[in-house]
Chain A
């Protein structure tokens, strides 16, 4: 079945069209609503085509790592639950969900957007721990890019809860947001034959020969990379894919304004 789909997608691409009629460098329309989850300190509900994702931020107070006593912590976790796709199963995290988690984590962490020093409450004793959870409700491809976008929107939406004698009072949020300085954007470019596409649907993602996810900042600095897929890439491929990713990131960043 995957082979038939591949032939179908490739044949269309030879004529310069995608199955849903988009241009190769065109994203599906995206909507982002923030503050949709009352129990989270920050949240975003993102829709793009049939992919729909909720990202939620929970903050906790904990002890810092011994080697970084004055830094808060960040953790990104993607839950690819069986509600969102017949191919996802119950059980320990799949390799797909681990990759999605880790690439989003890397993009946000290495961008340096969160000033972890400012998350310190008492050095060596108490720091803010930022948990980002990304949960798709329905999946039709491109979970890394869209999960990352939802995560950054949720981080920007976050308010710190009140701290009373070192204990978090989740019922009362302060006006203080997280110390953020950047808006890291992940863009995955997939290679199918000689074509480069952004925002792959599930079908396009499944038949892709190779893919490259590029995390970048507003000034074009790269902050994370992940090559995937069976086929290898030439330096020329990478050159082009990074260009496409950076041009696309510029458009996506506008959605966070």
Chain B
């Protein structure tokens, strides 16, 4: 019995509807918003600013520091207790590693760029939504970057390659499910986040990575459009005031 029709009627290579925005948090130096289906992420960048404690400073380069957090009411079931958990700490770490290859902080020795990611609601794919929002926020903050980072989960549900699994698909019980969160640097095709839980063959893994390629290009286009929209709005405002 293979997975022939997706639970919410999407095509196999189709993500849930995406809304992306830049400049959503005025207090921050840069910010981004990324909503995919019912998974919603806000990201704010503060910095470059002086890094405390000082023993964490690097005289050669600025440091990227990411913090992922689900709001207490963001989980599918019970309330999520506030404060760091093993899960949130690990996701914070892999988020940092996913973004690091594209950011250039060499001009900012001893400084830190803080990225805070908050999720008001989640329906699977939250670390990927967080990375996609964070990438918009970094660009909005004017941090020098080689490219966007586009993130999305791909997976194998009962033998079929699917893109952007929702919670129901992640919890599919009628066959094997492999959930593979990926972050891709679209211009090079390189992968900066790769995790997996479930069971797959190596062939299925490579097939999932290959087939999902266009999805990351689409996500990066949506991210760039969000940045562009933000600066078009600023430009319009400036012109009006002239």
Residues of A within 8 A of B (CB): 36-40, 43, 50, 52, 54, 56-58, 60, 77, 79, 81-86, 90, 92, 131, 133, 135, 137-140, 168, 170
Contact = CB atoms under 8 A, between A and B. Distances in A.
Contact of B28 (A58, A60, A83, A135): A83
B121 A40 contact: yes
A88 to B, nearest CB: 9
Most buried by A among B43, B44, B46, B117: B44
Interface stretch (B6-14, B77-85, B142-150): B77-85
B44 A83 contact: yes
B118 interface: yes
Contacts of B75: 39
A83 B73 contact: no
Contacts of A133: 71-73, 79, 82
Interface string B108-136: 00000010111011110000000000000
Given A38-B38, A90-B67, A135-B118, A77 B73 contact: no
Given A86-B28, A139-B27, A170-B77, 15 more contacts: A39-B76, A50-B26, A52-B25, A57-B73, A60-B78, A77-B82, A79-B72, A81-B118, A83-B42, A83-B43, A83-B44, A86-B27, A137-B118, A138-B26, A138-B28
A77 B77 CA distance: 19
11 contacts: A36-B120, A37-B73, A37-B120, A39-B121, A56-B71, A56-B73, A83-B25, A86-B28, A92-B83, A168-B77, A170-B78
Contacts of B76: 39, 170
B200 to A, nearest CB: 28
Contacts of B38: 38-39
A82 B117 CA distance: 10
Contacts of B72: 56, 58, 77, 79, 131, 133, 135
B27 A39 contact: no
Contacts of A83: 25, 28, 42-44, 116-118
B79 A82 contact: no
B69 interface: yes
A90 B69 CA distance: 11
Nearest to A87: B27
Contacts of A79: 71-72, 82
Contacts of B24: 137
B27 A85 contact: yes
A52 B33 CA distance: 14
A56 B69 contact: no
B73 A84 contact: no
A77 B73 CA distance: 11
Nearest to B79: A58
Nearest to B44: A83
B25 A138 contact: yes
A88 B5 CA distance: 46
B27 A140 contact: yes
Nearest to A133: B72
B208 interface: no
Interface in B44-81: 44, 46, 49, 67, 69, 71-79
Q: In the A-B complex, list the 5 residue pairs whose CB atoms are closest, starting with the nearest.
A: A56-B73, A58-B79, A83-B116, A40-B73, A133-B72
Contacts of B73: 37, 39-40, 43, 56-58, 131, 133
A58 B43 CA distance: 23
Contacts of A139: 27
Contacts of A170: 76-78
A170 B79 CA distance: 11
A82 B67 contact: yes
Contacts of B49: 86
A92 B84 CA distance: 10
Most buried by B among A43, A86, A139: A86
A90 to B, nearest CB: 6
B28 to A, nearest CB: 7
Contacts of A84: 25, 27, 44
A42 B98 CA distance: 34
A36 B71 CA distance: 13
A92 B24 CA distance: 26
A76 to B, nearest CB: 11
A82 B46 contact: yes
A138 B24 CA distance: 9
B52 to A, nearest CB: 9
